[in-house]
Chains A and B, each alone.
Chain A
């Protein structure tokens, strides 16, 4: 297999059978994120994007750049859960929720502005975002937590 240099713009897309409002809540409220976001309590307000670890550690604290419920959320990203990653400059995460036919929504997550943050890019790429997004889908569609050992 070819070795991969983690991409400076990463795009993830998936269909979720849920309303835009339910997806918005699951993304922005800590009581939902703790069940699929690597155990993080993430809170998005119109001003800040904050994440807390299991013991209240600061895992993220970045500005909210756009806040348009339940369609579009853009916030800064700094991986404060690791001292090494926390030193890298802030990158950007964009969530877009587009309703489709049949009760589905297309959720797009774009993590970009990673040019100056190669370690962060490597850390979130592949299984990083994928575990979060497939966990989010499972939670919304079945109410279950995906693989609690790894959540």
Chain B
């Protein structure tokens, strides 16, 4: 497991504890945004992993939102 992965899991746990689903979207968007300069600089490993984390954050947001269905129209 690389340093990026550890950081991802730390952020993930923090966000789960905070229980604010919209933060998952913010984290996902941040991952996508951070990956842009990395791809431009050909730092592919970290950039690729950021994309995976972004997808994971969005996916968790969707799951959270579905589970909290009473709050969703």
Instruction: State yes or no: do A and B come from one complex.
Output: no
Residues on A facing B (Cβ under 8 Å): none
